[in-house]
Structure 1
Amino acid sequence: MASNRATKSGFAAEAQRKINSKYSEDLAQECLEWIKVITGEPIDVSGDEENFYTILKDGALLCRLVNKMQPGSVKKINEGHLAFKLMENINAFLESAKKMGVPPQELFQTVDLWEKQNLHAVVICIQSLGRKARNFNQPAIGPKESEKNVRNFSEEQLRAGQGVISLQYGSNKGANQSGINFGNTRHM
């Protein structure tokens, strides 16, 4: 867990402070409220960093969340205190989230949650899953995702566009390179 790590110093500490500064209690609270609505479990929805970490660190609630959205997503939710079993829960959640449509760049690493390295990434992943909830007939959070709008043009329409010279292309009338001087001239 986070308590097993050595204290960071120098560039590592600076980088960790920057990562920690991105965490938003309001967004975390919104995610926890959404999880509470989907799962129906009585959890504390305070967006406080410690509360967010405590509720989600074992991955069991996250597994129950994806199982409510898409039954059977996570076959076995591990209980107990063995670290590798609890980290398996987090990994099972991430695999299910990927299958449900969360883009890879919005997923987090297991250690981001387990060792409290980057809770902001966890919030981003949950929000991304929340946007996908509409696809599974569940209440969603965040903006509605855009839908595909394919447009097909005929060859005639495409050729008609090539014959138009627009003023948006600009003009080079009067443009020349006279008077351009880079740097200072050499004085003799």
Structure 2
Amino acid sequence: MANRPKAYGNSAEVASKIDAKYSEEDELEIVAWISSLVQSSPEGKGKEAFQAWLKDGQVLCKLMNALQSGICKPNPPYKGSLQAMKQNKEMENISVFLKAAAKYANILAQDLFQTVDLYEGGNLGQVQSTLFKVGAEAKNRGLHGIGVKKADENKRVFDEQKMREGRNIIGLQMGTNQGASQSGMSAYGLGRQMTQKYCLRAPNPFWCNLGFVVGFKPPASTMANRPKGYGYSREVASKIDAKYSEEDELEVVAWVSSLVQSSPEKEGKEAFHAWLQDGQVLCQLMNVLQNGICKPNQHYTGAMQAMKRNKEMENIGMFLSAAAKYGVKSEDQFQTVDLYEGGNLGQVQSTLYKLSSVAKKNGMGDGIGVKIADENKRNFDEQKTREGRNIIGLQMGTNQVASQSGMTAYGLGRQLTPQK
């Protein structure tokens, strides 16, 4: 366990959290309990000694047999020299203990530790948890144990009259009607009362007069108020978000605006996202670079948000297909949701830079980004090709300008000259 290679990054963080669950106080309590039943104890204190004490499964099976005779039958200690065979026998012993513990204490499979948790020492906190559950069951059976004793069953028996009375009581699990009234609520038979704020946005005022709106939903979340992730997801999203460059934004906007005569309402990520989100500007850009290569949907003027969203995402997909046809590699392109939901606008900028590089190569002005180098294919005759086969490339090293001049002759030791 001490010299096992450590994980890195997220794996190291997870391993550290698991490792922190191990308790030295619980260790002392478990060791005292097991030692009182099987007359065995670890060689020292601490996690390393605790794991080594239980690792072969012999002590665990002795513990189970002390609690219930014959419930655990381990392999005898292995005397051979084959480490693989020894490891296999010891892991089998741990598995035999786990089956016996589940049978004895009625422990659910998800509450048991895994064999490797103990054998490789990866989750000794879970090992402690399992032993506490076994100790609690021992307490329930009147034996010496540890942990929390299960409560005794206290079954209530009610007569028929009490049962009938109970049916008329609304349990608090279903809520309560105490301290509540219908004051201010709409009268029965009337439709739902929509506030003026939402009625103004409704597709048809007629439905608002009836008190409800068919197919109407509050405005969809924007990039600014979209719920953020948590934990590791939030960390990843933060790193992706950091790739967005305001300097690149200015350069991309200047280039696109010079070709399609359209620009965002203001500076910043939100405006950049809103400007390109419907895919119209992107398709206009592609058609300037190559006439007719991108055919977007017409602007949707209906009230169905789902249809509008679908049309706009189709436009972005058409732009990506046109860019691939124009010469931008698929691995250099953003995904549709990267732009539409604003999750990776840095990749959107990167794709537009790649598109400009291809445009430069195709002779469409200066643009932005790095111009792709032109192919410079060399043709050699047969004689030159044969001569080239006899040359050792410098990737393999060189023996030029090297000699053994001044080296010690073969068979002699290294000659150390006195320092002057």
Q: Give the TM interval when normalised to the shorter protein.
A: 0.7 to 0.9
Cα distance between partner residues in 1 of 2:15 and 2:28: 22
- The equivalent of 1:172 in structure 2 is 181
8 Å CA contact 2:34–2:63 kept in 1: the answer is yes
8 Å CA contact 1:38–1:138 kept in 2: the answer is no
77-86 or 150-159, which moves further after superposition? 150-159
Q: Which structure 2 residue ranges, 5 or more long, are not aligned?
A: 187-192, 202-420
Cα distance between partner residues in 2 of 1:166 and 1:83: 56
- The equivalent of 2:329 in structure 1 is none
- The equivalent of 1:52 in structure 2 is 50
Cα distance between partner residues in 2 of 1:172 and 1:99: 54
Residues 175 and 38 of structure 1, relative CA distance in 2, 3 Å threshold? farther
Q: Which amino acid aligns with 2:125?
A: H
Q: Which amino acid aligns with 2:20?
A: S
Instruction: State the TM-score, normalizing by the size of structure 1.
Output: 0.82
Cα distance between partner residues in 1 of 2:50 and 2:111: 18
Map 1:4-153 to 2 at 5 A.
6-44=5-43, 46=45, 48-80=46-78, 82-104=86-108, 105-153=110-158
Cα distance between partner residues in 1 of 2:42 and 2:99: 24
- Larger Cα Rg: Structure 1 or Structure 2? 2
Deviations 1:127-172 (A, max 9, x none): 1101111355421112221122222333321221344579953212
Cα distance between partner residues in 2 of 1:40 and 1:151: 44
8 Å CA contact 1:78–1:86 kept in 2: the answer is no
Cα distance between partner residues in 2 of 1:43 and 1:56: 8
Cα distance between partner residues in 2 of 1:98 and 1:166: 36
The alignment's C-alpha RMSD in Å is 3.0
State the secondary structure of the residue aligned to 2:154.
coil
152-161 or 123-132, which moves further after superposition? 152-161
CA positional deviation for 1:15: 0.8
Cα distance between partner residues in 1 of 2:134 and 2:2: 29
8 Å CA contact 1:107–1:121 kept in 2: the answer is yes
Query: How many residue pairs get matched?
Result: 183
Residues 175 and 39 of structure 1, relative CA distance in 2, 3 Å threshold? farther
State the secondary structure of the residue aligned to 1:15.
helix
Q: Which amino acid aligns with 2:107?
A: P
8 Å CA contact 2:61–2:73 kept in 1: the answer is no
State the secondary structure of the residue aligned to 1:89.
helix
8 Å CA contact 1:131–1:143 kept in 2: the answer is yes
Deviations 1:68-126 (A, max 9, x none): 11111122333135101000110111011011024123211000000111000000000
Query: Highest relative contact order (Cα 8 Å, sep 6+), 1 or 2?
Result: 1
Runs of 4+ in 1 over 6 A off after TM superposition: 177-183
Among all aligned residue pairs of Structure 1 and Structure 2, give the percentage whose two residues are the same amino acid: 34
Cα distance between partner residues in 2 of 1:44 and 1:131: 26
8 Å CA contact 1:108–1:121 kept in 2: the answer is yes
Q: Which amino acid aligns with 1:26?
A: E
Cα distance between partner residues in 2 of 1:103 and 1:142: 14
Residues 180 and 157 of structure 1, relative CA distance in 2, 3 Å threshold? farther
